Amino acid sequence: MKNIHKIIIAFIGVLAVSCNADAVDERPILDTVSAPEITAPATGQTYILDVDKAGEEAAKFTWSAAEYSTDVAVKYTLLIDKKGGDFTAAKTLAVTSSVTEASVLVKDLNQAAIDLGGQVEVASMYDVKISSSVSGAFPQVSKGLITISVTPYAGKVVYDFADWYLVGDATVSGWDNNKGNQILFRSGTNANEYTFTGYFKKGAFKAIKNLGSWAPMYGGSGGSLAYRGVESDPDPANIEITADGYYRFTMDVEKLTYKLTPYDASAAVTYSTIGIVGSVIDENWSETIPMVKSSFNAHVWSLGVTSLKDGEMKFKANNSWDVSWGGKTPFSGISTGDNTPVAKSKYVIYFNDLDGSYLMIPNQ
């Protein structure tokens, strides 16, 4: 009988263009039958989350299939709210299409717990439900729920800044927009101002916001920046380097201006090692994490994804306190000799020993 119904519905669909209003009113209507229900994990589970396992699975949730009056593609949404909440402010842990299970990562459960008011390093109780819908309609929400305990770690550090990278045959990456491109250092006091002091080859360059993409982009000429918002916009002019050498490039994305001036690096010291040190690693400031020197720019250093604690840090040359750098502003700035403040997170870090510029991008 079900197959006969499907044939009839298909036939009606073919003839829809000739149907009258009465025929349209007689179309089958989808009805909800039973809501999905969470089957695992069991209520009462405890999750003590670890920042060093942020990318691993925290829990796998499974649920029974929602039932509707006919076979349809069902969208499931896994929701979490503080214990006793009405789910109007619930956070989404996962969304699936016709799949009745979802793995939730440590970092996603952690962020949801914090967004719902959970205190770091303190266990709090949360309710979890599953809901279903079809094409955004016919919602069904589980009548039951499970309650879990979650102890979050220090969550996502707020980082409301844009980062820009150099691309062009005058730079380390050439015209490849995703090949170790040199990042621009952002001012610690003016978030619209970016700079890079270092070696350029004869050629040209531009600035891109997102690695692997040609827009947004800045180019320009004569000291004026030209912005390309999307790839369908006109391609801005290249900024030209007339001869190999050291230059200081500065751009202001609010004023749409730039400066490119020669830089005398003849007296600059070339260091064999530079590393980070501080209470962000150990309370005694005794351990140094070495950075990697650029093979293109002998004064530019970087450090891949690195977990740091709440605290302070500096950059130290040659494993000695004879030469060190640090700034007053978090995330970016120029060395003032102070200790740089750091919030607990994972960072990618950049440093330029020519002018003491540093840049730390959190939440990696």
pTM tops 0.75: no
C-alpha–C-alpha distance, residues 210 and 5, integer Å: 52
Condensed to tens digits (0 to 9), the pLDDT of residues 104-153 reads 999 899 989 988 999 889 999 999 999 999 998 999 999 999 999 999 98
β-pair type (75-82, 203-208): unpaired
Confidence band for 332, pLDDT divided at 50, 70 and 90: very high
pLDDT at 155: 65
Inform me whether the pLDDT recorded for 3 exceeds 90: no
- List the one residue out of 105, 126, 104 whose CA is nearest residue 115: 126
Ranges assigned E (strand) in 168-256: 185-186, 193-200, 203-208, 217-221, 224-228, 239-241, 245-252
Inform me whether the pLDDT recorded for 235 exceeds 60: yes
Inform me whether the pLDDT recorded for 1 exceeds 50: no
DSSP, collapsed to helix, strand or coil, labels residue 283 as coil
Condensed to tens digits (0 to 9), the pLDDT of residues 240-284 reads 999 999 999 999 999 999 999 999 999 999 999 999 999 999 999
- List the one residue out of 329, 319, 318, 322 whose CA is nearest residue 358: 329
Mean pLDDT of 80-89: 96
> Environment class of residue 227 by beta-carbon count within 10 Å: exposed (0-12), middle (13-18) or buried (19+)?
middle
| Helices of type H across 200-274 | none
Mean pLDDT of 17-38: 66
End-to-end CA distance of the chain: 55
Confidence band for 28, pLDDT divided at 50, 70 and 90: low
Residue 356 gets which letter from DSSP?
A: T
Q: Are 182 and 297 in contact (CB under 8 A)?
A: yes
Averaged pLDDT of the chain: 91
Q: Which helix (H) or strand (E) holds 112?
A: helix 106-115
Backbone angles phi, psi at 23, to 5 degrees: -65, -40
Provide the residue type at 253 as one letter: V
β partners of residue 6: none
C-alpha–C-alpha distance, residues 340 and 285, integer Å: 13
